[in-house]
């Protein structure tokens, strides 16, 4: 079992799918069913299933409850500037309307 499943993603959780996959992987690593997790954090099995497949829109409070049940924490870090960011900065209009 990987003790740090989120870190295994290279700390790149810019898309919901990466976050959802990390949660699903952690649940499976713990040997828990979707029913067990959904009961423990007060969400429906359908909601958890959709979340694990990144289908739909998910409230932060629910995601935080699932994280707590799975023994995970979420952190927000400023991501490093990438080459794509530099390219986008060059093509953005410099004078923006007030």
Instruction: Say which CATH number the domain at 83 has.
Output: 1.10.260.40
Is position 82 within any domain? yes
Q: How many domains does the chain have?
A: 1
Quote the domain boundaries for residue 11. 7-91
Is position 97 within any domain? no
Is position 17 within any domain? yes
Please give the pLDDT value at position 88.
Answer: 66
Is position 98 within any domain? no
* Residue 76 predicted with pLDDT over 90: no
Tell me how far apart the alpha carbons of residues 30 and 68 are, in angstroms, rounded to a whole number: 13
Task: Please list, residue by residue across 30-54, b when 16 or more beta carbons sit within 10 angstroms of its beta carbon and e when fewer do.
Answer: eeeebeebbeebebeeebbebbbee
> Residues, the chain, total?
98
Is position 86 within any domain? yes
* Residue 72 predicted with pLDDT over 70: yes
Is position 1 within any domain? no
Is position 37 within any domain? yes
Q: Work out the pLDDT band at 5, boundaries 50, 70, 90.
A: very low
Is position 2 within any domain? no
| List of residues 6+ apart from 34 with CB closer than 8 A | 27, 45, 48, 49, 52
């Amino acid at each position: 079992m990987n003790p740090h499943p989120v870190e295994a993603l290279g700390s790149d959780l810019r898309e919901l799918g990466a976050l959802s996959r990390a949660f699903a992987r952690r649940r499976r690593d713990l040997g828990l069913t979707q029913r067990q997790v959904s009961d423990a954090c007060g969400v429906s099995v359908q909601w958890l299933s959709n979340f694990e497949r990144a289908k739909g829109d998910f409230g932060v409070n629910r995601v935080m409850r699932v994280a707590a049940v799975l023994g995970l924490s979420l952190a927000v870090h400023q991501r490093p500037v990438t080459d794509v960011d530099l390219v986008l900065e060059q093509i953005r209009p410099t004078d923006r309307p007030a």
